[in-house]
Amino acid sequence: MTEVRERETVVIIGSGPAGWTAAIYAARAQMEPFVFEGAGSRTMIPGGQLMFTTEVENYPGFKDGVMGQDLMMEMREQAMRFGTRAIWEDIVEVDVDQYPFRLVSSTGKVVFADSVIIATGANARWMGLPNEEKLAQSGGGVSACAVCDGALPAFRNQVLAVIGGGDSAMEDALYLTKFAKEVVVVHRRDEFRASKIMADRVLAEPKIRVEWNKVVIDVVGEETVTALKLEDTVTGDASEVQIGGLFVAIGHTPNTGFLGGIVKLKDNGYIQMPIAWRTQTSVPGVFAAGDVMDDFYRQAVSAAGTGCMAALEAERWLAHGGPDAVAHVEDEVAAVG
């Protein structure tokens, strides 16, 4: 059984690129990090979204690419090599009104921490169709990240579908035109929700066509996606479009619900960072890294970078007195508004 001490120097919540990078840095600094990897769910498992990704071609250091699961296992083993301890449980409650901070796990385990790094990521929203989720998890041509996967050989010169009508869907569709034979945007309404400039760019692009007033009722394919079954939201008519890849762009939900409002969040639920280019949250001693605080880049390499930053900040915060440094941190936050 994994050792859990009464009081930890740093507890890291989450086990994606941000969490494991934070653990590597913290462990090498002899902070003996303890990682709550997560218990796993239908749409999120320990290791984060890369566990649902096949080949990753844009992570530096792997000239021939690397499988998403392999990358996460390498990060985990690297963290463990330096003395990180980890457990497959969720944190369901965090109390910052006392110090050390009090954390409660999904099995009722109580842990006290001198510092906390939140790296719980964000969950891609899916349409909720059984075959969509099956093909997404098996690498069958269904993805929630066009920038991550769109350039893969399997998607080149294919007809690719993008689901959504916001700015993210527009950006994905335009990005995919670099590789696709054609991009089909499927949207449930007769106009996009996206900003006018982004919508105009999509409508002006000759490689993009739009299926207006359509919803996906089924994703077709055994090993890989081959078609979408659509239903017209106005007439109810059914139709089918043949595709070689599907990109779902209907948003992400940051995994911040368990925090219970203890740190300030943006309107969209992501953790608000009071000081630009820092990982300190609104609570001194509690830091955030990765997609849980990044609603703009959402890339593995940028998540890893913020994991490094969070570990360094936690180390320095503790070195400067931890709770005794609270006033200094609060003054910094106040200085930037």
Q: What is the pLDDT of residues 310-324, one digit of tens each?
A: 999 999 999 998 887
In this structure, the answer to whether residues 32 and 106 fall within a common structural domain is yes
How many distinct structural domains can be found in the chain?
2
Q: Within a domain: residue 2?
A: no
Tell me the longest C-alpha to C-alpha distance in the chain: 66
Residues 237 and 266 in one domain: no
113 and 144 within one domain? no
Confidence of residue 54 (pLDDT cuts 50, 70, 90): confident
**Which of residues 229, 248, 267 is at a domain's end?**
248
pLDDT at 56: 87
236-275 residue pLDDT tens: 999 999 999 999 999 889 999 999 999 999 999 999 999 9
Which of 217, 248, 279 is the endpoint of a domain? 248
Q: 114, 149, 172, 294: which is the annotated catalytic residue?
A: 149
Let me know whether 138 and 109 are in one domain.
no
Q: What does the pLDDT average to over 49-71? A: 88
CA torsion angle for 227, 232, 236, 239 (degrees, to 10)? -30
Please indicate, yes or no, whether residues 130 and 241 belong to a single structural domain of this protein: yes
Specify if 146 maps to a domain: yes
Residue 113 lies in a domain: yes
Residues 115 and 260 in one domain: yes
**What is the pTM assigned to this prediction?**
0.82
Residue 100 lies in a domain: yes
Given a contact cutoff of 8 angstroms between Cβ atoms, the answer to whether 46 and 40 are in contact is: yes
> Which CATH number goes with the domain that contains 278?
3.50.50.60
Residues 19 and 118 in one domain: yes
- Judge if 90 and 57 occupy the same domain: yes
Is 1 inside any structural domain?
A: no
Mean per-residue pLDDT over the chain, rounded:
92
Annotation says 308 is catalytic: no
* Whether residue 95 sits in one domain with residue 26: yes
**Which of 22-36, 37-51, 93-107, 164-178 has the lowest average pLDDT?**
37-51
From the candidates 90, 148, 172, 294, which is the catalytic residue? 148
Residue 98 lies in a domain: yes
Residues 149 and 218 in one domain: yes
In a domain, 117, yes or no: yes
Residue 325: pLDDT band (50, 70, 90) is low
Q: Is 160 inside a domain boundary?
A: yes
Active-site annotation holder among 90, 114, 145, 172:
145
- How many Cα neighbours within 13 Å face the side chain of 267? 0
Question: Can 149 be counted among the known catalytic residues?
Answer: yes
Cα(219)–Cα(210) distance, rounded to whole angstroms?
Answer: 18
Closest CA to 17 of 56, 60, 49: 49
pLDDT tops 90 at residue 292: yes
149 shares a domain with 223: yes
* Same domain? 117 vs 148: no
State which residues form the domain around 157. 126-248
Q: According to DSSP H, which parts of the chain are helical? A: 17-28, 68-81, 130-138, 146-149, 167-176, 196-204, 300-319, 326-335
Q: Is 148 an active-site residue?
A: yes
Residue 328: pLDDT above 60? no
Q: Sorting pLDDT into bands at 50, 70 and 90, what band is 48?
A: confident
pLDDT at 229: 98
Residue 280: per-residue pLDDT: 97
Q: How far apart are CA 50 and CA 125, in angstroms?
A: 15
Q: Examine the fold and report which residue of 248, 263, 293 is the final residue of a domain before the chain moves on.
A: 248
Calpha distance 232→337 (Å, rounded)? 48
Among residues 137, 198, 185, 135, which one has the least CA distance to residue 159? Answer: 185
